[in-house]
Structure 1
Amino acid sequence: MPEFESVRTTAEAIGRITCIKTGEEIGLLYQWDNGETQAALYNGSRPKTQNCSDHPAEPDIGAKCS
């Protein structure tokens, strides 16, 4: 069984993601206990996640919105 170098167990919300056109909150930015960050964008009732560990964590991230 392979061992993972960076196991994620808990995450903390560190910022809100807002639409740069409307100012509406469209998701949250999380930081995992291993330092990686992950964006969780709202999509109806289910969040859509995107791993952003290769990008610096910023509390205010703009994203395309409808």
Structure 2
Amino acid sequence: MPKLESVRTTAEAIGRISCIKTGEEIGLLYQWDNGETQAALYDNDIATTQVCSDHSAEPDVGLKRG
């Protein structure tokens, strides 16, 4: 059995994820007690998740788009 690198036990919602076009809430951003962040997106009343452990929890507001 592989050894787990980090153990996550609890998470706290730290932000809401909104659609850039409609402003509708589409998910939540969670931070685990080990510092990892995870996005939970709503999909027809079913939450889908994506772990973002290699990214900083701080947004890069200086990032140019388009």
Any stretches of 5+ residues in structure 2 without a counterpart? 60-66
Written as runs of structure 1 = structure 2, the 5 A alignment for 1:1-66 is 1-58=1-58
Opposite residue 39 of structure 1, the aligned amino acid is A
Percent same amino acid among aligned pairs? 81
- Provide the aligned C-alpha RMSD in A: 1.5
Give the TM-score normalised by the residue count of structure 2: 0.80
Distance 1:58 1:22 in 2: 24
Deviation beyond 3 Å, 4+ runs, structure 1? none
* Count of residue pairs brought into register by the alignment: 59
8 Å Cα contact 1:37-1:57 kept in structure 2: yes
Greater Rg by CA? 2
